[in-house]
Amino acid sequence: MARKFLYFVAFCTVVFIGGRLALAFYPEQLTRLSFTPGGQFEAQPDLAANAYANPDLWFARPGMSGSNPVQWQPEGFRPDPVPVDAAVFFVHPTTYLKKAHWNGPLDDPDARRIGQVMVRANASVFGAAREVWAPRYRQATFGAFVTDAPEARQAQDLAYRDVALAFDAFVAAQPADRPIVLAGHSQGSFILKRLVAEKVAGTPLAQRIAAAYIIGWLVDTRRDLPSMGLPACDRPEQSGCVISYLSFTDNADTAMMRDAYERFAGKSDAAGAASYLCSNPLTGGIGGNAPAARNPGGIVPDAKFEQARLTAALVGASCAADGTLRIGSGPDMGPFVLPGGNYHVYDYALYWQALRQDFARRVAAWQTRR
């Protein structure tokens, strides 16, 4: 069951890169066959210590030539009058779906093209920031998330090492008094949970975190938050905390998603069942209900995620007992809504303006508490 949820995510991405498959419910065996590499893991050396000094290893960073995807804005949006004095580190989701390798090569043209689109669609939420850095990395192929093979863990570890190296370069470039915001989606958030636990928790850097947007991957309040060393954001003016949610329609069956998380997290040593964080992007707190009227604007993109219109009151937000975010019956967002009422691809888009406001508010709160 867990792999069926992950197949849904893969299906959406495959459609996105041009593979117009029939919308159908495929069995677990076909999922593995379609996406899991058949060869052995290819051990690769770590990138050079100064690799991320190369601008080509970034989708976005200060001083880049050409158009910056983070500065994309939807139709109907009024630009922010004052920049938010913070630096954002954004990790993009999976865009490599091929079976040729366990990790996407940095020169793969499809993964790079779709990565650019994903940064534009998601990281543009942070476009008002003083700086946004979004690294390219040797991401684990989607097949690494639908198998128990040891190669899958090796692929995920390689992806993590690249992102950790990029993060070191990002931090080194920041003034010591500038707040930092961490953000990711899907595989990007999967990596960020580990990065916060290993490189931020218990260090002076933790005091500089204005917020961590771990969106599109589950965060267990009993298991993950203690290791990350950051609390959940339980009020809108709070800083130094974690925001996390996954978007589903009201009638969606989310059991597959929860099972998928357990595959990678393992059995909990904490007392009781897992308790997943459901941040409400319309209230800035945990749980609760907010009607669509409180949504200042989601974006409805075109089929290529190149243009979009900012649409007020697009969806509401209600946290269910299973820790998922429910959005009502779900709007028509185009061809990439996943079967079963899963709006994973649109986690950021549904609440684009609300997240933009949330980001500015939490950075302001961090600056006030200093």
For 227-256, write each residue's pLDDT tens digit. 999 999 999 999 999 999 999 999 998 877
d(CA 152, CA 332): 34
Q: What is the pLDDT of residue 18?
A: 36
* Residue 260 banded pLDDT, cuts 50, 70, 90: low
Alpha carbon distance 344, 323 (integer Å): 15
| Dihedral over alpha carbons 307, 21, 96, 55 (to 10 degrees) | -20
| Model confidence at 87: pLDDT above 60 | yes
Average pLDDT over residues 189-195: 97
Query: What is the per-residue pLDDT for 227?
Result: 97
Residues whose CB falls within 8 Å of the CB of residue 87, separated by 6 or more in sequence, listed in order: 129, 130, 131, 132, 133, 170, 174, 178, 179, 180, 181
Cβ-based neighbour number of residue 42 at 10 Å = 15
Query: How far apart, in whole angstroms, are the C-alpha atoms of residue 196 and residue 228?
Result: 5
pLDDT value, residue 184: 98
Contact 98, 122 (CB under 8 A): no
CA distances from 257 to 4, 5, 184, 344, 366 (A): 8, 5, 18, 11, 33
Confidence of residue 149 (pLDDT cuts 50, 70, 90): confident
pLDDT value for 272: 59
Cβ proximity of 134 and 123 under 8 Å: yes
Per cent of the chain over pLDDT 90 is 72
What is the arithmetic mean of pLDDT over 32-58?
A: 87
Give the pTM.
0.91
CATH 1.10.10 fits 2-246+253-267, yes or no: no
Q: How confident is the model at residue 13 (pLDDT cuts 50, 70, 90)?
A: very low
pLDDT score recorded for residue 6: 46
Token code pair at residue 155: 């692929």
Residue 26 has pLDDT above 80, yes or no: no
Mean pLDDT of all residues belonging to the chain: 88
Our measurement of the distance from residue 275's CA atom to the centroid of its chain's CA atoms, rounded to an integer in Å, reads: 20
In tens, the pLDDT along 159-171 reads: 999 999 999 999 9
Residue 268 has pLDDT above 60, yes or no: no
pLDDT at 265: 62
d(CA 210, CA 200): 12
Weakest-pLDDT range from 6-15, 165-174, 250-259: 6-15
The residue-averaged pLDDT of 18-42 equals 54
11 burial (CB, 10 Å; 0-12 / 13-18 / 19+) is buried
What does the pLDDT look like over 57-71, one tens digit per residue?
Answer: 999 999 888 889 999
Lowest mean pLDDT among 183-197, 206-220, 230-244, 293-307: 293-307
Per-residue confidence band for 146, with pLDDT thresholds at 50, 70 and 90: confident
Single out the residue of 319, 250, 251 nearest to residue 281, CA to CA: 319
Mean pLDDT calculated for residue range 13-30: 39
Residue 184 burial (10 A CB sphere; 0-12, 13-18, 19+) = buried
Looking up tokens 């070191």 gives: 168
